[in-house]
Amino acid sequence: MSSLLITIHVIAAIALIGPVMVSTSMFPARIAGAQDASHGGLGSLHTLATITKSYGMFSALVPILGIGVFLSDLDYYGKQGQFHASILLAIIAWALLLFVIVPRQQKVLEAIKGTATAFDFEKSRKQLAMFAGIFNLLWVICAVLMFL
């Protein structure tokens, strides 16, 4: 049972977190192009935001499955600190995505569409790049901790 859960956990991590890592990283770079409506950049920005939001919701399965693996053999995993740290970092990364990155991406989209006033695109671009980097780093640390 534990091997099956680990397999599902790893496949979910690859299939769900990979696209989110890419979309959060690409979004800040596409902001400038989306401001110029003639290049059709708004469509790509909207697509990246949709990928981030939808895959982000489903990526909650990864820490949930990780907790399932952890609980499947508590005698072993309960004594391994790296798994405790990985679960905590995964939950922090997921919270960062859903409570910081996704809302900020939505604000950028609203500002480009003209529904927001006095919006600082450069500041938002830098902040989104920073938060995407933190999000990606947390997942890389989780992956490394799994193999210690």
**Digit-coded pLDDT (tens) for 50-74:** 999 999 999 888 888 988 888 888 8
Instruction: Give the DSSP letter of residue 121.
Output: H
Which residues touch 83 (CB under 8 Å, ≥6 apart)? 66, 70, 77, 145, 146
Confidence grade of residue 42 (pLDDT, cut at 50, 70, 90): confident
Which has the closest alpha carbon to 25: 110, 147, 139?
Answer: 139
State the CB neighbour count (10 A cutoff) for residue 124: 17
> Which residue segment(s) compose the domain that 31 sits in?
2-146
* Gap between the Cα atoms of 75 and 80, Å rounded: 9
What's the number of domains the chain is made of?
1
Which residues touch 100 (CB under 8 Å, ≥6 apart)? 131
Mean of all residue pLDDT scores within the chain = 89
